[in-house]
């Protein structure tokens, strides 16, 4: 599919319910109400949906790359059943202590996407539920959007104490899609 523009999404807490014990299997992957339909709306409007997600469960030894692939196959199938499509998924498997450049809040995943798709990041909406997501978007030049699902409520409170300004806030991914008028 030829996309006219893109949207960047965190996974846990934006598309699916988050868990303090991590999402380790397809059975634990539960979509947030309205998220699959929002992705379908983006797809129908030729907006490429790209997922950028920290998955330190791999680096911590809680699951393998193969386990993550199974979760992502489940997610892709659910999105396709709703009429949507995921253009690409980028993940960081490292723990915070690894010091890599791909773990959010560093912009490595964003930069890989921009290089692979040959697009500038300026102004591309990047939706997340954590300060890490928002900081990575800002560091890369994307447009950070906070959703109040997942850790979004705590993040909104943390924003009030941070130096980050001008962050768009939406109740959830479906509300963000509606705000675009599409």
Catalytic choice (2, 12, 18, 122)? 12
Total structural domains within the chain: 1
What local confidence, expressed as pLDDT, does residue 72 receive?
A: 98
pLDDT computed for residue 12 by the predictor: 98
Q: Please provide the distance, in angstroms rounded to a whole number, between the alpha carbons at the two ends of the chain.
A: 18
Strand partners, 168: 145
For the question of residue 67 being annotated catalytic, the response is no
Separation CA 130–CA 110 (nearest Å): 16
Are 57 and 24 within 8 A, CB to CB? yes
CATH number of the domain that residue 132 is part of: 3.40.50.1000
pLDDT tens-digit profile of 111-163?
999 999 999 999 999 999 999 999 999 999 999 999 999 999 999 999 989 88
Question: Distance between alpha carbon 110 and the CA centroid of its chain, in Å?
Answer: 11
Residue 163: exposed, middle, or buried by beta-carbon count in 10 A (0-12, 13-18, 19+)?
exposed
12 belongs to the catalytic site: yes
Say if residue 77 is exposed, middle or buried (CB neighbours under 10 Å; 0-12, 13-18, 19+): exposed
Domain range enclosing 33:
5-179
Average of per-residue pLDDT values in the chain: 96
pTM attached to this predicted model: 0.96
Instruction: Show the tokens assigned to 51.
Output: 């997922």
């Amino acid at each position: 599919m030829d996309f006219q523009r893109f949207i960047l999404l965190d996974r846990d807490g934006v598309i699916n319910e988050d868990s303090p014990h991590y999402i380790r299997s397809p059975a634990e992957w539960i979509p947030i109400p309205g998220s699959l339909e929002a992705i379908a709306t983006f797809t129908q409007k030729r907006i490429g949906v790209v997922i950028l997600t920290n998955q330190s469960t791999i680096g911590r030894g809680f699951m393998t790359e193969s386990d993550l692939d199974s979760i992502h196959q489940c997610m892709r199938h659910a999105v396709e059943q709703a009429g949507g499509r995921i253009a690409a998924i980028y993940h960081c498997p490292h723990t915070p202590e690894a010091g890599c450049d791909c773990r959010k809040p560093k912009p490595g995943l964003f930069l890989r996407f921009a290089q692979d798709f040959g697009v500038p990041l300026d102004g591309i909406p990047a939706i997340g539920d954590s300060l890490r997501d928002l900081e990575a978007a800002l560091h890369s030049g994307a447009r950070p959007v906070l959703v109040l699902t997942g850790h979004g409520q705590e993040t909104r409170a943390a924003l009030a104490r941070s130096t980050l300004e001008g962050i768009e806030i939406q109740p959830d991914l479906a509300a963000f899609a509606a705000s675009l008028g599409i």
